[in-house]
Amino acid sequence: MHLAQTQPCEICGGMNWKIVVHNEKESVCSGRELVRNDQPLIKGMCENCGMVYTLRSPLDQDLDKYYTQVYSSKLKTDNYDYVNFAKGKRFGQAVNDFVLGHEFPRQGRLLDIGCGKGFFEQAFIEKYPDWNVEGVDPSERSIEIGRQLAPQANFHCQNFRGEDFPDNQYDLVAMHTVLNRVPPRTFIGAGADLLKRDGVMSIAIAMLPEAPFELYFADHHYMYHSQHLRALAEEFGLELVVSDEVGSIWRYLFRKSGKSTVQREALRRESERIKHDVLNYALEWRRLFERVTRLKDAGKRVAFYGAGTTMMITLAQTEFPRELVFGVYDDNTHKHGEEWWGTHVQPRSEEISRADAVVLCAGPSGVDVMKCDLMMPEEKLLYFGMPEIAALNA
């Protein structure tokens, strides 16, 4: 169990945490499921560098079981993957396209840490069939699927530990959407050790400014601004090659240069702004919950656009009654027909404009797209980051 104030910050070593979320209600996991809190979800912000860390989570007792058994078995089909709004494609596809946009030698050795269902192995082997490809992940179901999708790869079903793999042997080490779950100092440090000189580290990672819903996630323990990741990479002698900082998950390729620095200059310059932003995100959530609660208390019927974690967080935090849900809409055809909060997910239609209000359930860039698609008056829209003065008929 993590305890507030006893854990050093993974990025800067700071020991002072300011509590930014203390949630006694149900929390949400990244797969959208709710977890009951037999202990509260507590998120703290490092008072020095602004990194956000889960000081306590209802999942703490059972985190290993969550990954070995629960995680990914909850996904309905083997190839299910979430759609990345900002990229207009699946998350896995966005990562694969980014990494495979880089030229690698014809032969080499790859380790994919937290490989999940082997989507990356499959795509990588297709382009580089002569590479020796390995994936490691504790999720039994994911590894089973990975072995089917990429039979040529060698999968290890276990938690990643650096000492189980040989140092200075890998040309590419990947950590795609893993570092929000595991201690980044240990994982990036161990990954850098495994790389040959000039080897490449590929990282895909949720960034808090674009994924503010992480503040209410029970299973995201580490929440970053890009300066945190860059500072840690520099410390382990990883030089940035290319980045793609779009949407909720950002992508990076680093090269092992061996030139390490712990100056954290960019982070130091930006930390005041980062801390200010983090406190603001926490406030924005509370503002959204207050607005939705007001509508609930006035008996208004509210539509939810985007059947995802933001919707689950908002419903759970406001204890929104099912009978006041006007409808749940989503552009992802995979979700149509699924039952959410007592109603079926439908494609967006004209009907949505008849709701008393619409909650746009997405991160900042997703919200912009949704606003254009809906073309509804601003005062009927509620979303994370909405203008404070929007007058609602509540």
Ligand X SMILES: C[S@@+](CC[C@H](N)C(=O)[O-])C[C@H]1O[C@@H](n2cnc3c(N)ncnc32)[C@H](O)[C@@H]1O
3-state class (DSSP) for residue 190: helix
d(CA 139, CA 67): 5
Chain mean position to CA 155: 24
Q: At what angle do helices 265-297 and 309-318 cross, to 10 degrees?
A: 60
Which of Zn ion, ligand X, none has residue 67 at its interface (CB below 5 to 8 Å by kind)?
ligand X
3-state class (DSSP) for residue 6: coil
* 11 is an interface residue for Zn ion by CB under 5 A: yes
User: Using CB under 6 A, which of 53, 67, 217, 222 touches ligand X?
Assistant: 67
User: Using CB under 6 A, which of 70, 157, 182, 246 touches ligand X?
Assistant: 182
Window contacting Zn ion (CB under 5 A); options: 3-11, 118-126, 149-157, 194-202: 3-11
* 113 is an interface residue for ligand X by CB under 6 A: yes
Which of Zn ion, ligand X, none has residue 21 at its interface (CB below 5 to 8 Å by kind)?
none
Report the nearest approach of ligand X to the CB of residue 88 (Å): 18
How many residues sit close enough to ligand X to count as binding (CB under 6 A)? 22
Report the nearest approach of ligand X to the CB of residue 249 (Å): 9
Which of Zn ion, ligand X, none has residue 49 at its interface (CB below 5 to 8 Å by kind)?
Zn ion
User: Using CB under 6 A, which of 136, 153, 267, 295 touches ligand X?
Assistant: 136
Report the nearest approach of ligand X to the CB of residue 177 (Å): 4
Tokens read off for 95 = 């990562």
- SS3 string of 225-256? CHHHHHHHHHHCCEEEEEEECCCCEEEEEEEE
Give yes or no for a contact between 328 and 341, defined as CB atoms under 8 angstroms apart.
yes
Window contacting ligand X (CB under 6 A); options: 18-26, 33-41, 112-120, 206-214: 112-120
* Smaller CB separation from ligand X, 201 or 355: 201
Burial class for 390, CB neighbours closer than 10 Å (0-12, 13-18, 19+): middle
3-state class (DSSP) for residue 112: strand
Q: In this structure, what are the phi and psi dihedrals at residue 25, rounded to the nearest 5 degrees? A: -85, -170
Please tell me what DSSP assigns to residue 150: -
Q: Which of residues 81-100 bind ligand X (CB under 6 A)?
A: 92, 95
DSSP 293-327: HHHHHTT--EEEES-SHHHHHHHHHHT--GGGEEE
Here's the x/- map for Zn ion, 25-64, by CB under 5 A: it reads as ---------------------x-xx-x-------------
User: Using CB under 6 A, which of 27, 54, 84, 139 touches ligand X?
Assistant: 139
d(CA 181, CA 30): 10
Report the nearest approach of ligand X to the CB of residue 288 (Å): 25
Report the nearest approach of ligand X to the CB of residue 91 (Å): 7
Report the nearest approach of ligand X to the CB of residue 181 (Å): 5
Half-sphere CA count of 175, side-chain side, radius 13 A: 27
Contact residues for ligand X (CB under 6 A)?
67, 71-72, 92, 95, 113-116, 119, 136-139, 142, 159-160, 176-178, 181-182
